[in-house]
Amino acid sequence: MNFKHCDDFVKEFENVIKNPKKGKSSVYYTGIDLGTACVVMAVLDENYRPVAGAFQYADVVKDGMVVDYIGAIRLVGAMKEKLEDALETELIYASAAIPPGTDNLDGGAVKNVVQAAGFEITSILDEPTAANKLLGMENGAVVDIGGGTTGISLIKDGEVVLVTDEATGGTHFTLVLSGAYKKPFKEADEYKRKFENHKEIFPVLKPVVEKISTIISKSVKDHQVEELVLVGGSSCLTGIEAIIEDMTGIPTHKPMNPLFVTPLGIALSCSKEIID
Ligand SMILES: Nc1ncnc2c1ncn2[C@@H]1O[C@H](COP(=O)(O)OP(=O)(O)OP(=O)(O)O)[C@@H](O)[C@H]1O
Ligand SMILES: [Mg+2]
C-alpha cells in the first residue's frame, strides 16, 4: 500500500491547523471526529483540499457514546466558531463518524451534537470506513486504534465488507502506564504521546498491543487478508505495527501520522446533501 497521497494530505492538514488558508471557496466541507480521547475538526474547501483544522483532548465521549452531551455541543460549537473566525466564513455542512456497531445505540446522539452545534449533517459513517476514504485501500483491513476502541473495516475490491469494533485502545495503554509508573491518568497520557518515550514504555504496553492483535485476528479469522493498515492515534506508538504483524501473521503498515487519517476521511465524505 502506497501512503504518499495520504501522507501528503495529512501534512497539508497539519500545516493548515497552524496556518488556516483563508480563500474564496464557494463551499466548505467539515469532518467531525468525536472521539473518546480527542475531538478533531477538519475543514476542506470546494476542491476537497484542507484549509483549516483543530483538535482538542476531551472527555465528552466514551467508546463512541456521548457521555457529556452539553459539553460535546459546547466543544464542537467553540471549535466551529474558532475555525469560522479564522476562515472568515460560515461552516454549514458537516459529516461525522461513530464506532462500527454503535449506530443503533448512539448514532442519534452524535448527530444531535453536530446539529445542535449549528451544522447541517450530510453523512454519518463508521470510523475505519471513513479512514479508507483517504487511504483508498483496495484489499485488506483498516484498523483504527483510537482512544477507547479498535475498529476494523475489511475491504474487498475497494468495498467495505465487514466492520467490527472492540473496546481496547489508547485509554487502556494509558491506564496500564499510569499503574506501572504511578502517574495520574492525564500525566501518563501526555507521557505516552511523546515519541521520545516510546522505546522506554513499549515493554509495559506490549501486553495491550498483544490484546489488540488478538482482537484483529478474531475479527478477520474467516477471511483472507492481504494487509493491515493501522490508523488512529494509538497507532502512533513506535513499533506497534511490528508486534501486530508478528502476532496476526498479516503484513502490517501505517501512514506517517495515523492520528488525522480518520477525521480527514470523514471530511472527504462530506457533501451538500443534508440528511435529517
Ligand atoms: N504520539 C502518540 N503516541 C502514542 N499514543 C498517541 C499519540 N498521539 C495520540 N495518541 C493516543 O491516541 C489516542 C487518541 O487517538 P484518536 O484521536 O484516534 O482516538 P479517538 O478517536 O478519540 O477514540 P475512539 O476512536 O476510540 O473514540 C489517545 O489515547 C492518545 O493518547
Ligand atoms: Mg476515533
Query: In this predicted structure, what is the pLDDT of residue 131?
Result: 94
Among 38, 34, 6, CA closest to 234:
38
38 lines ligand 1 (CB under 6 A): yes
With a 6 A CB cut-off, is 127 part of the ligand 1 pocket?
Answer: yes
Q: The C-alpha cell of 21 is what? A: 488558508
Q: Which fold has domain 4-131+260-268?
A: Nucleotidyltransferase; domain 5 (3.30.420)
Q: How far apart are CA 79 and CA 254, in angstroms?
A: 28
**Which residue among 10, 17, 34, 38 is best mutated to probe the pocket of ligand 1, counting the most ligand atoms within 8 A of its Cβ?**
38
Q: Helix 4-18 crosses helix 127-135 at what angle (to 10 degrees)?
A: 110
258 Cβ closer than 6 Å to some ligand 1 atom: no
Q: Residues of 236-248 as b/e, b for ≥16 C-beta within 10 angstroms?
A: bbeebbebbbebb
The pLDDT of residue 63 is 74
pLDDT tens for residues 211-220?
A: 999 999 999 9
- In the beta sheet, which residues pair with residue 52? 43
Task: Give 107's pLDDT tier (boundaries 50, 70, 90).
Answer: low
Whether 35 lines ligand 1, by a CB cut-off of 6 Å, is: yes
Q: Which ligand is nearest to the CA of 209?
A: 1
Average pLDDT for the chain: 94
Q: What is the residue type of 257?
A: N
- In CATH, the number for domain 136-257 is 3.30.420.40
- CATH 3.30.420.40 spans which residues of the chain? 4-131+260-268, 136-257
Summarised one tens digit per residue, pLDDT across range 193-242 is 999 999 999 999 999 999 999 999 999 999 999 999 999 999 999 999 99
Instruction: Specify whether the CB–CB gap between 28 and 87 falls below 8 A.
Output: yes
Question: What is the model's pTM?
Answer: 0.95
Residue 33 CA: nearest ligand 1 atom is 21
Q: Which residues contact 198 (CB under 8 A, 6 or more apart)?
A: 237, 238, 239
* Residue nearest atom 7 of ligand 1, based on CA coordinates: 193
Measured CA to CA, the distance from residue 30 to residue 268 in angstroms comes to 8
Give the DSSP per-residue string, 38-60: EEEEEEE-TTS-EEEEEEEE--S
Please work out whether the CB of residue 45 comes within 6 Å of at least one atom of ligand 1: no
At 98, is the pLDDT very low, low, confident or very high (cuts 50, 70, 90)? confident
* Confidence at residue 66, expressed as pLDDT on a 0 to 100 scale: 87
**Nearest-5° angle of CA 161, CA 11, CA 229?**
25
Beta carbons of 131 and 6 less than 8 angstroms apart: no
Task: Please say if the pLDDT value at position 162 is more than 70.
Answer: yes
